[in-house]
Each structure stands twice: as structure tokens, then as C-alpha cells.
Structure 1
Amino acid sequence: MRRLLTASAAIALLVLAGCGDSGSDGGSPAPGGQPALKKATLTLNWVPYGEHAPFYYGLKKGFYSDEGIDLEIKAGSGSGKTIQQVAQNNTTFGWADTPPLLSGVGTGMKVKSLGVFLQKGPAAIEFLSDKSISKPQDLKGKTVGGTPGDAMYATFPAWLQANGMTASDVKVVDVDAAGKIPALSEGRVDAIMGFFHDQGPTIEAKTKKKVNYLLFADSGLNMLGTGIVVNESTLSGDKDLAARFVRATQKSWAEAAKDVAGAADAMVELAEQEPAKDVLVKQLELAIPLLELDKGAPGVNTDQKWKETIDLMVKYAKLKDAGEPSKYWDGSHAASNSK
């Protein structure tokens, strides 16, 4: 089992090293007369993998402490559960996929996005390259492993429909998250649902075989991916904390994109992550293009992108009373240029 990261010790070292703690919310003075850092937690969408390296990079470089935040990063067990943790105020912020966020708001959860960073969703069907699969229709009659409760499992029927198929065209085999990769590598399923930039490099490292994939975003279901989720009570009660967290996260991602190896090193040091550094590097390298940095700073979205995702959820996922993007997203904290 991977150890959850408690960042307090790391932050303390950064402060002692002179990384600074400006932007404090005015808490009780710390020893030496400096304002105390504001404690906050971030629950990831899954156990740490390469996509999460920028958060650890931000911790190591002092980007969060510079904004007055003492950040603790917690592993997650699926975007849906992370959103629930945010809705129940069990964590300050969440890192979660957008489709389950929309669904959660639709059921009455008082949460909002502060900005989606992976503007092209990473959801995919993954398979070994020796399978005769090159397009969605090639999955007919095949077995696909998926984990009930995760984002891909929920949207897979919509992806089939978008490609002219029905649920009866494939056999879905329910497996737990830890069992998906063994099921694929051992030939018990023909393909699995997953985030290509996470599982692809992991499977290749374990099997020494090439992995191919069909990206949902390239085949009829281009929806926003993962981003920051917050409880509405935090937005109303501590808007400054939300703004500071977004600034630190934007800077963390922007700088990590320029120093992928350094971000992987920070993750190895602070998260004690199981995959080797080369796997983490590959995972982050595959994630960075999904930011679409040529169109703007990390985490800066447009109404049009949100409307496209909402429309797809209405069409394929039966999202009711959809409303406008402002129902799900508060983009006022995501500056057009990261700090």
C-alpha cells in the first residue's frame, strides 16, 4: 500500500530554507514572528501517479507555502468518491474528473470546479498492441474490464452510443482497480477502461509489451478532464484561500511542464510512489499535452468548453436540469497567467 503524504514536515523544511510563507490568512504567529500557514488538504482522484507530480513539485519548490498554505495531499479512490469527500467537507480541495462532478451537482452536491486543468479528457480503452483493435467498432464481441464507480465505467455506455454501439455489443467484466492491469496482461480481458496516461506506461513497464488505446476524446466524447473541486461553503467562507490555492496550483503545473524530471524527483521524494521514475516521467509527459497550454495558462477554461461537456452529458448521460456552466464552475480565481 502506498503511504499517504503528510506535507507538514516538507513545508517546515521549505520555510526554514527560506522559501517563504507570504500570503498567510493572518493565523496565529508562528515561532519567530512569522504568520502561521493555513492548513488545507487535497484529495486526489486516485493513488498518486505521474499526473499528480506537479502538486508534489509545488510542495518542494514552496509554491504553496509562498501562498500561505500548509498543504497535505491524500490519495483518492476514484473521482466520484473524491467529489463526495469535498461535498461532505472531509477535504478542503479535490482533484477530480469533470463528468462525475456534473453528475454530483445534478444530485444536489454543493460543490464547484475552480478550473479544469486536463482540458482534453484522458479516459480511454486500453489494450495490448497485438489485439486486432484500431477503432471503437472493433470492440464488438470483446471483453472489457472496468471498475464500478469510477469515471470511465460511468461514461462507457455513452461512449458506445456515441460510436453507434450498445452495451450488448461488448461484455463488461467488473474488476477492482488493482485487478484491471493483471486482467489485461494475463489475457482474461481484451481491453480495459482507464486513463491512458496513467495505466499505459504502467502496463508497458510490467508486461514489456506495447499498449495502444482508443481515447474517448478522439472518438465522439470530448469532455473536460480533471481539475480542482471545492465545496461551495469554502468559496463563500474563504474565497481568498481558494484563490491562493488556484494560483499555487497553476504555478506548480506551469513550472512542472518545464521540468518534468524535477517534478518526478519531487514525487519520488515526497510521495514514496511505487512506479519507477521513468514511469512517472512518461505519465507526466503524456498528461502535459492535455493541458492545451498553447491556448492559455493551466486551469483556465472557457464557457464554450463547459457547454460542450454539459451538452454531451445531457445527450449521453441523462444529465437533468443541466443549466449554465456557472452552475458547476467558478473560474474567477484562475488567472489568465499563472503567478
Structure 2
Amino acid sequence: MPVNANRLVEQGKMMSARHWIGFAFALMASAALAGSATAADTLKVRLDWTPWGNHAPFHFAAQKGLFKKYNLDVTIDDGNGSVATVQIVGNGEYDVGHASLAPMAIARSKGLPVKAIAGFVQKNDIGLLVPADAGIKSPADLKGKKIAFTAGSLEAPFIDRFLAAGKLTRNDVELLNVSAAAKAGTYMSGSADGALSSVPFFLPVVSAKRKSTSVNFADYGLQFPSFGLFATEKSIETKKDALRRFASVVAGCWAYILNGHMDEGAQAIIAARPQAKLDPAVLREQIENIKAFSKTKATENEPFGIQAASDWSSALEILAEGGLLDQKVTADAVFTNDLIDKKIVADLAAGKF
């Protein structure tokens, strides 16, 4: 049978076209896979409050390019209170939040599907700020004193237990209910003999005008975790790898900053929020104060960020006794250590940037 040269040429052209089309699709698929592997994971982060010392590791990590190094594209927004941050993150508006973790546990008991993924300030940071020369060393010394507090804040449900540690009741003191914004002014002006608030935050702010010290809740049986990271169950499931890198980077930066690099942390906050006109001395003292609240006996030998089930179990009992939990919550429901990469934490804690 004679060979049709023209037909062979046409067949060759068709095979060549198919070959190149297939090759082009293969290249496109390869590029897509490469892009998905290298594209940074985006995370939206909501902080607890306007800029203060507690935000040092976030801004330090950003300044040093550590989020980028670990393939993260992170947006960091300030907040207006831990309770608001818990609600906003719990509603899915952000991927991860930084707030006091006791309100997070309370929200969990009310049905909000949130869980702590790292603990940074693991001792209860609430305390009574009093003048350094007032001779007030314990709740027993508060008889007849005026104490400023904020109704609706986390300190309010525990005032009776705090006073009871000194064998006092509300009838033995004068409680002044003021807004959170007015508390510092009320105390510094001398209108109150003491004020209940976050010790690391409040103490450096007021001491410049009224040298002060603190009587801490945690020393009188009122111990529960304070600041850390949390996310919804959905975010933990769908962005687990990104959240693990993020939580580990922040934990490692905290460990580095608290190990004698407080000034670097303070300067990172100022650089990130220049419009806030922050005082570096106040920021540094806030960071230094945080160190005393960062670990418990159960976590003192653990990598930074790791939480203890025993701490959470006792904390949940205290919160329940304060009438703050709508339903019983177990420790494993409110926290996980699965999102802390110990190697990343150790490397960054050692300054391996």
C-alpha cells in the first residue's frame, strides 16, 4: 500500500501540536503548584488593647522579618479590650487573637468555639495598685480605704474573695466604680487609696506621678492564666500550619525579649506605632513587669508559650466559683499545645534570626 506523504506530514503536525499543548499544560500545573508552595500564608491578628509593652513580640517579629522568614503575611491590628477581642475573633473576623485568656475561657463556656493556642502571661496579672509609702502589704491593710475598680471587668467578680483573704468585707472599704479610662487619673490624683487593674500595664503608668507597688490577686488564691493567643476551632483546623508558625515565632520572640532584650522590644513597638507617641521607659518597665507573670511552677521549665493542664483545671474551678462560667468546661476544651513548635521557639529565643 503506497505511503501518502502528505498525510504523514499532517499527522506529524497534529502530534507535534498535541505534544506542545500537553507540555504547556504541564508547565502551567507545575507553576501553580510552585506558587501554592511558596505563597505566604495570610493571617489577620487582633491585639488586646492600644499599644503597650505586651505587644513587643509581635512588632519585634515583624521588624526583624521573622513572619516573612516563616512564610507568613501577617496583619496586626490594635484592640479595645480583651472581651471585645475575644468576641470579634470568635465571630470569625480575625484568624487569631491576643487577649487575656480568662475571658476567652468564659466565652467558651457560653458557646463561642475558641481555644488558647499559646500562653505568654500565665499568672493572673490583676492586682491592687497602692502607694509605695502607704504601708499596704496585704488585703488586711485595706480597712477604711477607697478602692477604684471597674464594674464589668475581670477583677469585679473576685473583689469579695480578695477582701476575704484579709478577713474583710465590702462594708470595710469604699469601692469606687470608675470607667477603665478614668481609673489611672482617679488613682494618680489621690481620689482613691488603691486601684484594681493589670499590674504590668498599670504600675509603670501611674508610678511616674504616684510611686506605687502592688498586692497581687495570684498571691491570694486567685490564679488563672492571663495573656496569650487564641483562635476559633475552625481557624485551628483550616490554618493549623500557619498558626503553628505564627504562635511559635511570637513565643520565641517573647523568650528573646524577656531574656535581657527589653529595650529592643520597646523600640519595636515605637517603630510600629509612631503616631501613639509612646514613652520608651514606660514600655520597657511594662515588659520587665510582664516577666514576673510569664511563668507558673507548672510551666517554668517548659518552652515559652507552653500551657499546663493543671493550671487550666484550677483556673476553671476559680472562674466557676466566681459565677463566670455558664456551663462546665474542661481544660482540654480551652487550650492546646499542638501549635507550639519547640525548635522555632528555641532558635528565636537564642537570637537565631
Same fold (TM over 0.5): yes
Mean Cα deviation higher: 194-203 or 155-164: 155-164
Which residue identity is paired with 2:124? G
The answer to whether the 8 Å contact 1:300/1:335 transfers is: no
The answer to whether the 8 Å contact 2:110/2:325 transfers is: no
- The separation in 2 between residues aligned to 1:186 and 1:28, in whole angstroms, is 62
Asked if residue 311 in structure 1 is aligned to residue 312 in structure 2, the reply is no
- The separation in 1 between residues aligned to 2:241 and 2:294, in whole angstroms, is 25
- The separation in 2 between residues aligned to 1:231 and 1:41, in whole angstroms, is 13
TM-score under structure 1 length normalisation: 0.83
Shift of 1:114: 0.5
Which residue identity is paired with 1:76? G
Q: Which residue of 2 is the match for residue 218 of structure 1?
A: 219
Count of residues in Structure 1 that have an aligned counterpart in Structure 2: 309
- The separation in 1 between residues aligned to 2:278 and 2:156, in whole angstroms, is 24
Q: Which residue of 1 is the match for residue 123 of structure 2?
A: 120
* Residues 265 and 245 of structure 1, relative CA distance in 2, 3 Å threshold: same
Shift of 1:167: 3.9
SS in 2 for 1:41: strand
* Residues 27 and 66 of structure 1, relative CA distance in 2, 3 Å threshold: farther
Mean Cα deviation higher: 288-297 or 185-194: 288-297
- The separation in 1 between residues aligned to 2:175 and 2:33, in whole angstroms, is 52
Unaligned runs of 5+ in 2: 1-31, 348-353
The answer to whether the 8 Å contact 1:80/1:151 transfers is: no
Q: Which residue of 1 is the match for residue 111 of structure 2?
A: 108
Mean Cα deviation higher: 88-97 or 145-154: 145-154
- The separation in 1 between residues aligned to 2:140 and 2:278, in whole angstroms, is 33
Superposed, 1:264-279 pairs within 5 Å as 264-272=266-274, 273-279=276-282
Asked if residue 242 in structure 1 is aligned to residue 248 in structure 2, the reply is no
Q: Which residue of 2 is the match for residue 198 of structure 1?
A: 201
Structure 2 residue aligned with 1:331, among 324, 333, 337? 337
Could you list the per-position Cα deviations for residues 163-186 of structure 1 after superposition, in whole angstroms to 9, with x for gaps in the alignment? 544444433322222211110111
SS in 1 for 2:229: strand
Unaligned runs of 5+ in 1: 1-25
* Residues 163 and 235 of structure 1, relative CA distance in 2, 3 Å threshold: farther
Structure 1 residue aligned with 2:68, among 50, 60, 65? 65
Shift of 1:161: 4.7
TM-score under structure 2 length normalisation: 0.80
Structure 2 residue aligned with 1:175, among 174, 178, 188? 178
- The separation in 2 between residues aligned to 1:119 and 1:289, in whole angstroms, is 10
Could you list the per-position Cα deviations for residues 279-315 of structure 1 after superposition, in whole angstroms to 9, with x for gaps in the alignment? 1111101112322374221110121111111121222
Q: Which residue of 1 is the match for residue 258 of structure 2?
A: 257
If you compute each CA radius of gyration, which structure gives the higher value, 1 or 2?
2
